[in-house]
A and B are shown apart, each in its own frame.
Chain A
């Protein structure tokens, strides 16, 4: 990913997303503060206060109400963005499912953070995994630039007539939300033109065509209505690819659902999403220098899970280490389970590594250890950086 350092500004991920929101200029932004999402909503509030954005901010009394208000405004025909983290997303969870079911194309910026308990404010993907099966599109950024870029792409994916689903744009809490790095913003007019006008098929404000939205569905119809969501998120696979290409034409930056990094000829590979992909790239470069045939498969879209692309990308890899920043106690970590599913029936060995929960740092030497151990005999799931003695 090339960033023109002449045109880049030094921004945190939170600030970069606030700029994306200013440029998109949504009609309604219902929000409730939670660390580490706060730089996003504070940044946007200042843009509105300075007249640089016109959106209606609704400072609600909880995240549950934030997403409830977002559903109301999105279905009323207003482009709607909200932001949350961790416990906030957990409190929203009931409405995340309903937003998907009501086909409300809300964009949600998520500063990914651990879930309580114990309470912790640092990077972790458990919050997004909590709504894994809700039917929303889930994208994960590697750095502040990607957080900005995916945020600009998100309304197009959410509002596509074949999709009409909420889109979550995740960025690792603190590691991205609060870390300053060079970010290249697009011109305001280019973003406005890229996202275009918002429209919903049935607005609750359309008095001439009164619609009943959110009805009661009995066993004779519930199954089909749920299946319609499955079709919608399957459609999102194609739409994400189309929008990524269109965005690349605009920006020169291409963010496909899944991106191989030095996978050609690799015998061992790591699969990961979020900021750790950047660390892994450095280690891959170093090990390649040393003559090790290692590579990375970076995932940006977790829902829909790009299983065909993952299968193709990993077809020639002998050993795969899947790094999950969330656990599934009593089961298999989510990204690992998906990856195993994608390569099922194929030759590779797949191992699971749970890492970085609650913001625990993952160091280059940890990544080296993964590449070293992945083809050895060990438990299927290993806990990277876990202290065994407290």
Chain B
């Protein structure tokens, strides 16, 4: 059966994450969660870091989850899943699991719970080699607490703690390359994806789940509130991120880098900056230089990535 039919069939049956949650209109998170979970064939156990997904899907006494789901705190999702996965192996060894058979352990964390406060626990879990899929829904700032800058916030973006003003052009630092940090742990599968190109994300989720060890997916996920765009513009803006090569789609399998999508036409960075109020100041004359810097860095990074993927 085709990939799309498979996904539709799951969604029409008992979807892992069902409707009725309180995530915002146009939010990319449920798109990412559904695509990832629907693409994994085995039963799933989900661990969430504190964040939008956790708050909006589990308001006691209700839940939007049809799969086992556990949340402990903000910074420790990778440590929690280490414990769950270790328990699974220990119980399997002595035949004490509630049900036999393979299970995929999936973590969902935002960029704060991945790049920043969650980095130590993530690094430890990757180094120890637990078998799990860590999915970062990267919307490039602390959205749940009101759009504060994170280590994932791109250069030039205005947030509530890196605001653009008369003397400031938004965040002055570059975002850190968390995907490369994950690769540096020599784990079997790392990929960068986006909430658009569902087929690409779906294939990567499937491969991540089949990896014999830790897998890491960094998924660019829009936030209408924090990015400042109309909910209906979500996919258009995400497409601009991918087609401008600001957010390339690639995977690193056992250390081998491979582009999974190349835009037919590389669009200028203005297409990404336009339509997001967090970048509005860069489109005014005083922001031209910053916008040009962003374009230059995108071009350099894209060239470097292509070279890496060619070898």
Which residues from chain A sit less than 8 Å from chain B, CB to CB? 27-28, 30, 54-56, 58-62, 64-66, 68-78, 80, 94-95, 98, 102, 203-208, 210-218, 221, 225
Contact = CB atoms under 8 A, between A and B. Distances in A.
B297 interface: no
B65 interface: yes
Contact of B82 (A65, A74, A206, A225): A65
A213 B86 contact: no
Interface stretch (B56-64, B188-196, B242-250): B56-64
A78 B86 contact: yes
A342 B70 CA distance: 39
Given A68-B73, A208-B98, A216 B82 contact: no
B96 interface: yes
Contacts of B90: 27-28, 54-56, 73, 78
A368 to B, nearest CB: 48
Interface of B: 43, 45, 47, 54-55, 58-61, 63, 65-73, 75-76, 78-84, 86-91, 93-94, 96-99, 103, 120-121, 123-125, 127-128
B33 to A, nearest CB: 14
B53 to A, nearest CB: 11
A58 B76 CA distance: 15
Given A64-B75, A69-B79, A221 B60 contact: yes
Given A70-B83, A72-B83, A210 B65 contact: yes
A197 to B, nearest CB: 9
A311 B125 CA distance: 49
Given A61-B120, A205-B91, A68 B68 contact: no
8 contacts: A54-B93, A64-B121, A71-B72, A72-B87, A76-B87, A210-B69, A216-B55, A225-B60
A225 B69 CA distance: 19
Contacts of B83: 28, 30, 58, 68-74, 76, 80
A267 B87 CA distance: 53
B54 to A, nearest CB: 6
Q: Of residues B82, B88, B120, B124, which shows the largest number of chain A Cβ atoms within 10 Å of its Cβ?
A: B82
B133 to A, nearest CB: 15
Contacts of B75: 64
B121 A65 contact: yes
B108 to A, nearest CB: 13
Contact of A76 (B72, B88, B128): B88
Contact of A62 (B93, B98, B124): B124
Contacts of A55: 90
A214 B53 CA distance: 13
A64 B79 CA distance: 9
A58 B59 contact: no
Nearest to B124: A61
A69 B86 contact: yes
Given A61-B121, A78-B91, A213 B70 contact: yes
Nearest to A71: B72
A76 B91 contact: yes
Contacts of B86: 28, 30, 56, 58, 69, 72-73, 78
A96 to B, nearest CB: 11
Contacts of A218: 59-60
B129 to A, nearest CB: 11
A78 B82 CA distance: 13
Nearest to B43: A207
Nearest to B64: A212
A259 B121 CA distance: 42
